[in-house]
Structure 1
Amino acid sequence: MNTIAKNTFIAMVSLALFYFIFLESNSFYLSSMSSFSLESKIATTIVPIMGLNALGFLCYPLYSLKLSRRKRRGTALVFAILWIVCLIIAATVSSPIAIVGAGYLSFFIMGVLGGNAYFGVAMMLAQSNRLITSVALAHAAGILLHLICFHIPLGRAGDAALLGLGIIAFSLVALFGWPSLQVPREGAAVDRMGNPIYPRKILDLQGAVAPPNLQEPRGFAIQLVALTILLAVLFNVLNSVTSLGTPWVNQYAEVWPRLVVAVCGVAAGVFFDIDRRRHMGTVVLCVAFLAMAAALAAGSGLNITVCRVVFYAGSGIFAVFYLSLFIWLAAYMRVPQLWAGMGKVISNVVALVVTIPSAALAQANDQALTSLAFVLFAAVLILMTRAGMLAPDYEERISSYSEKSTDAEETPDHESAEKPDQESPEQASPRSPEEALAAFCESYGLTKRESDVLAAVVSDERPLKHVAAELGVGLRTVQHHLTSLYKKTGTQTRTGLTALFIEESQNGAQARESHEEQPSEATRGASTEGASGE
């Protein structure tokens, strides 16, 4: 298994374990509270768990940026031990207060270690052509694993043991599974070989690697946060309608709604990746409208089963949408540790704030709920249009923020006017791409075929099968040459190889310019000595 496949596998396993633990922990603590005949207090005691989980995600950037690698690993080990202790307490004690307290601490720790998982996924998969499919498959795997475990009659102790195994596996991945990632102050991630992991979109093959003072797409990030909040509120309100009269514990026990969420999420992920995310905003908007219509139809007394199928299908697509989009966006932000899990943070906070009021509103006033749903959908439509997410090229326009740097904007007009007079002829005529490629191949001792593969993989984001078709060779041959390129250049990913190629091309151009300047300086020195000798 090559490095890219290995990292993809680790990312999917980590996400799947997180989703499984999240769902299994919810159902475990819900059933524990039910065993004490406290169904009336479940909402007020369990819902705050979502807020503590979100708080853990928000605390992860501090944990990641303030501690050294060794201290982070030691802290993660302590968190994992505390997590297991909380599970043991919840499984053995007979005090509802102790169970709730253990649950609160467990979900906070889950948020911190979950932030580590999301950040790792963002660094490994954010620029993958199969990002959304990978996230959707991990989401579906977590749901299916939870359903299997939930319907195995093991009792409270057995459920705790299964959950404990999941926690141990997830903690081991957090401690030892990820490659060593570091993020310097400018926010450009590097792997353990020191190769920068820049987003593919901000690599300019005709110029320079993106400078460290790049502007963030803050405008789009803020709009995406607002959009996700609106959609999450809308789906939580609609869920109150479709789940009206269903006990809390049964919402985690029903099989078919979870299967619909998993299957539709995977189908949407595959389509979005094949479509290269061009119509993702349009699809999500249409799905939100169908989900709203289905939920309101269910509240009006129409066929409840059909309406719930449509609603849960929309929920699965929405979950994949917000989880994967924030993972993709994180690679463009200065603090990717914060943004990678922002989708989960928003989902949890909205659940914390909206769940109980929306359930009460659904029971009291269907007309008010209908009006609220239409207002939310109208706001979603306006915000999507304003953010440009209904346009097929929105992703390219978001990534174009790298064309300008903060320093360039702050440069006064008179300085920019003087700049052309100060440029040398050598700076105005950089090396051609052919010269840069030839110099790179000579520097690392690449063969002719390796040179052809290098030129193809650093030029754009095409899948390897398209590269193989262009070169007239098999896919395995391209993979073999790419592995050889990684070994010779000391890189591990296609992104790292591209970044190294650009960096070497720039350094080579600068070295050539300085080399061309040195003889002229030596000649001037010799002529000066000759004049003084005369």
Structure 2
Amino acid sequence: MKRQKITSSELLCAICFALCFFAFMLTEAFINERCAVILGSSAVNPVYTFGLVCTGLGFLSFSLLRRLCKKEKSRKTAQTILGILCIGAAVVLLFANQPALFLTSSSAALLLTGHISGCVYYNTAMYFAGSRYTGRLIGTGMGAAILLQFVVQNLIPQSVAFIISIIFSVAFVMYFIMKAPKDWILENPLPYSSETRKDFKKALLLIVAVVLMSLVAGMIDSVLTAFNAEKSYDIYGGVRLFYALGLILAGFLADIRERKYLPLSTVCTILLSSVCMFFLSDEVSYFAGTALMYLYSGFYVIFFTVMFLDFAPKSSRPELWAGMGRIVRSFTVAATVLPAFNIYGAVGNTVLAVVSCLLSILILLVLLPYLSSAAVSPKPTEELPSESRELSPQERLKLYARRCSLTPRETEVLEKLLTTEDGVQEIADSLYISRRMVQRYISSIYEKTETKTRLGLFQSYMNFTE
């Protein structure tokens, strides 16, 4: 049995995620630039703060709308309407010159972009459940989005780039949601059994860690956003390429030993980023400080993205937990930006650097369970037991599913396909899901096992067990 390769569905999902991230980053940057022109540079941080709140509410609105809309048709209609409204808000924002209209369209654009992002995060979590390539695909996609943003903002008029990117990105995302063969968005997937649900104590530790990391990021963001608005420094210049570097490095590191090194490497970059505070007030050393900050941002973003994408499919509310990292980040940074900049203006960067170092120590303590697990020697790969013990049918199925990286949901459908002669509708009835959803699971199983028919799947399974 060959090890799982990157599937075309996973690649398409990663592209969708990257485009969504690109659209969000460009929207945020465009709003900050327009705010400096319409309301003045002093208003950029307050508007940025309010925009973060809108983004967080947008992510939450996806979970709420999903609970309100139970039918597939109503969910499809709602997502289509919100996608159109998002493009409409971007068009209005492009031509808004009055402060009231600018603030209204900015809020709507970020709220709707957040909602669509929540939809994409959820879909991504379901697609990548059990995948060995989540980190590198997400990290590479987000890094490519930053590189594209750098090219767009430096070579193309920003207003033109903004509206084209929003229309294209939202259109692609909506098409992917509506037409993808594994469309988890519009219907409830097969739930996990109770014994496979994740430990919510670890989820709480993740939330606390992301809050502390976001406090560090918020302090740095507040200073750099203000400097960029005043044209003191350009945070979207060449130094931003370190952000792409951090995202890609962290993405590949995340896939080593099932995320064990990601928390440790993130803590290390946090300690480095604390040093950057000492460099921000000096134009000569500004580049080095900002580069360290962006490198940390890449690891920090991959940490809260990948860890919650892993957790979401095994929770009872995956549509909420998939974007939980972004939700926590948005509200925490929003609460940090204005106080941090006031502190910087009053006492300089030394106090912020000291606070950042203390927060780094707290993060280290919070993540100790994850850091200690990285120090433990890896368990040998689970293979077939020795000939002295006969494999039970359940053990054979479990080993086959693990080798093919099938999710628990897919494993339940696999068991029906291999051990019964039930048709699609009978399998759907026994698992209490729709026929269409069973067909999606079967399509995913065929793709991961590199088979095309039920007979081919059975032969693949028998070859493996023999």
| SS in structure 2 at match of 1:433 | coil
CA deviation map 1:307-349 (0-9, x unaligned): 3322221221111111111111112211111111111111211
Corresponding residue of 1:8? 10
CA shift for structure 1 position 297? 5.1
| SS in structure 2 at match of 1:181 | coil
Shift of the 435–293 alpha-carbon distance from structure 1 to 2, 3 Å rule, reads closer
User: Is the 1:113–1:174 contact (alpha carbons within 8 Å) kept by the matching residues of 2?
Assistant: no
User: Is the 2:274–2:353 contact (alpha carbons within 8 Å) kept by the matching residues of 1?
Assistant: no
User: Is the 1:64–1:72 contact (alpha carbons within 8 Å) kept by the matching residues of 2?
Assistant: yes
Give the 5 Å matches for 1:458-497.
458-460=401-403, 482-484=449-451, 487-488=453-454
Larger radius of gyration: 1
Shift of the 161–298 alpha-carbon distance from structure 1 to 2, 3 Å rule, reads closer
Corresponding residue of 2:391? 433
Aligned counterpart in structure 2 of residue 29 of structure 1, from 11, 28, 31? 31
| SS in structure 1 at match of 2:184 | coil
User: Is the 1:30–1:249 contact (alpha carbons within 8 Å) kept by the matching residues of 2?
Assistant: no
**Which runs of no fewer than 5 residues in structure 1 stay unpaired?**
191-195, 199-210, 398-430, 439-453, 464-478, 502-534
Corresponding residue of 1:154? 157
**Letter aligned with residue 134 of structure 2:** L
User: Is the 1:120–1:178 contact (alpha carbons within 8 Å) kept by the matching residues of 2?
Assistant: no
Aligned counterpart in structure 2 of residue 236 of structure 1, from 198, 201, 218? 218
Aligned counterpart in structure 1 of residue 351 of structure 2, from 363, 368, 376? 368
Q: How many residues align?
A: 409
Q: Distance in 2 between matches of 1:238 and 1:92?
A: 31
Shift of the 461–291 alpha-carbon distance from structure 1 to 2, 3 Å rule, reads farther
Corresponding residue of 2:203? 221
Corresponding residue of 1:414? none
CA shift for structure 1 position 356? 1.6
**Letter aligned with residue 449 of structure 2:** L
Shift of the 260–158 alpha-carbon distance from structure 1 to 2, 3 Å rule, reads closer
Shift of the 15–458 alpha-carbon distance from structure 1 to 2, 3 Å rule, reads same
CA deviation map 1:442-466 (0-9, x unaligned): xxxxxxxxxxxx8964354689xxx
Is 2:137 the counterpart of 1:122?
A: no
CA shift for structure 1 position 58? 1.1
Q: Distance in 2 between matches of 1:212 and 1:85?
A: 43
Corresponding residue of 1:377? 360
CA shift for structure 1 position 395? 13
Q: Distance in 2 between matches of 1:321 and 1:435?
A: 38
Q: Distance in 1 between matches of 2:29 and 2:315?
A: 35
Q: Distance in 1 between matches of 2:168 and 2:221?
A: 31
Q: Distance in 1 between matches of 2:147 and 2:402?
A: 40
**Letter aligned with residue 135 of structure 1:** I
User: Is the 1:131–1:324 contact (alpha carbons within 8 Å) kept by the matching residues of 2?
Assistant: yes
Query: TM-score with structure 1 length normalisation?
Result: 0.68
**Letter aligned with residue 288 of structure 2:** V
Corresponding residue of 2:100? 97
CA shift for structure 1 position 125? 0.8
Aligned counterpart in structure 2 of residue 269 of structure 1, from 213, 238, 251? 251
Shift of the 251–322 alpha-carbon distance from structure 1 to 2, 3 Å rule, reads farther
User: Is the 1:285–1:381 contact (alpha carbons within 8 Å) kept by the matching residues of 2?
Assistant: yes
CA shift for structure 1 position 31? 2.7
Identity of aligned residues (%): 16
User: Is the 1:54–1:344 contact (alpha carbons within 8 Å) kept by the matching residues of 2?
Assistant: yes
User: Is the 1:12–1:138 contact (alpha carbons within 8 Å) kept by the matching residues of 2?
Assistant: yes
User: Is the 1:136–1:265 contact (alpha carbons within 8 Å) kept by the matching residues of 2?
Assistant: yes
| SS in structure 2 at match of 1:127 | coil
Shift of the 481–279 alpha-carbon distance from structure 1 to 2, 3 Å rule, reads closer
Corresponding residue of 2:139? 136
Query: TM-score with structure 2 length normalisation?
Result: 0.77
CA shift for structure 1 position 48? 0.6
What's the C-alpha RMSD, in Å, of the aligned pairs? 3.7
CA shift for structure 1 position 71? 0.6
| SS in structure 2 at match of 1:371 | helix
Give the 5 Å matches for 1:60-209.
60-67=62-69, 68-154=71-157, 156-157=159-160, 159-177=162-180, 179-181=182-184, 189-190=189-190
User: Is the 1:298–1:307 contact (alpha carbons within 8 Å) kept by the matching residues of 2?
Assistant: yes
Q: Distance in 2 between matches of 1:271 and 1:86?
A: 38
CA deviation map 1:393-447 (0-9, x unaligned): 79999xxxxxxxxxxxxxxxxxxxxxxxxxxxxxxxxx95366699xxxxxxxxx
CA shift for structure 1 position 78? 0.7
User: Is the 2:277–2:289 contact (alpha carbons within 8 Å) kept by the matching residues of 1?
Assistant: yes
Corresponding residue of 1:54? 56
User: Is the 2:219–2:352 contact (alpha carbons within 8 Å) kept by the matching residues of 1?
Assistant: yes
Is 2:337 the counterpart of 1:355?
A: yes
**Which runs of no fewer than 5 residues in structure 2 stay unpaired?**
380-388, 407-445
Shift of the 284–390 alpha-carbon distance from structure 1 to 2, 3 Å rule, reads farther
Shift of the 152–96 alpha-carbon distance from structure 1 to 2, 3 Å rule, reads farther
Give the 5 Å matches for 1:242-321.
245-247=227-229, 254-296=236-278, 298=280, 303-321=285-303
**Letter aligned with residue 102 of structure 2:** I
Q: Distance in 2 between matches of 1:103 and 1:245?
A: 21
Q: Distance in 2 between matches of 1:163 and 1:18?
A: 9
Q: Distance in 1 between matches of 2:378 and 2:60?
A: 29
User: Is the 1:241–1:295 contact (alpha carbons within 8 Å) kept by the matching residues of 2?
Assistant: no
